[in-house]
Amino acid sequence: MKPAMNITCLLVYEDDSFVEKLKEVLALLPVKVKILKVLQDVDQIAEAIFQETERFVDLMLILGGVDARNTTVSSTAVKRICDERVYTLETYLCQFLAQYKDCILTSPTVGVRKRTLIVSLPQHEATLKVLPLIVEVLRGG
């Protein structure tokens, strides 16, 4: 049996109903979760990513701050701090989210820093549907 994955979730904008649904989805997965709240600020998000990837984290989810209408602080922070981008997953996420009209103007970004996969996603119900797939793929399932 594989050990539980370590996940850190950075919440850029806090929607209480989304956070409750996120916790419900994560409770069903073989993961250990740490949830942090950050301001909608590129430097704070990049610093949080840096701090969390210095310790062993398998997956870092940045939820919120990817809306192109307002600002894409999360995507900018991921691009600033990651060692390399994961374009195949990024493309998949863009296509997946495009199915939802209110997600069309989001800019999900995926990268790797050290041994941590970093994924920025909107705080939207669609995100909750794709999280089990990301965890399964990372676990080698």
In a domain, 141, yes or no: no
- pLDDT of 93 strictly over 70: yes
| Residue 55, φ and ψ in degrees, nearest 5 | -100, 170
Residues 71, 134: contact at Cβ < 8 Å? no
In a domain, 12, yes or no: yes
Q: Helices in 13-41 by DSSP H: which ranges?
A: 16-27
Letter for the amino acid at 80?
Answer: R
Q: What is the pTM of this model?
A: 0.93
Number of domains in the chain: 1
* List of residues 6+ apart from 39 with CB closer than 8 A: 12
- C-alpha–C-alpha distance, residues 71 and 112, integer Å: 22
CA distances (Å), 130 to each of 38, 70, 72, 113, 137, in order? Answer: 23, 24, 20, 21, 11
Instruction: Kindly indicate the confidence band of residue 141, based on its pLDDT and cuts at 50, 70 and 90.
Output: low
Q: Which domain holds residue 20?
A: 5-136
Residues 62, 119: contact at Cβ < 8 Å? yes
In a domain, 113, yes or no: yes
55-78, pLDDT tens digit by residue? 889 999 999 998 877 789 999 999
Three-class DSSP category at 9: strand
Give the pLDDT score at 38: 94
Mean pLDDT of the chain: 92
24-60, pLDDT tens digit by residue? 999 999 999 999 999 999 999 999 999 999 988 999 9
Give the pLDDT score at 7: 96
Across-strand partners of 26? Answer: none
- pLDDT of 1 strictly over 70: no
Q: How many CA atoms lie within 13 A of 54 on its CB side?
A: 6
CATH code for the domain in which residue 104 is found: 3.40.980.10
In a domain, 72, yes or no: yes
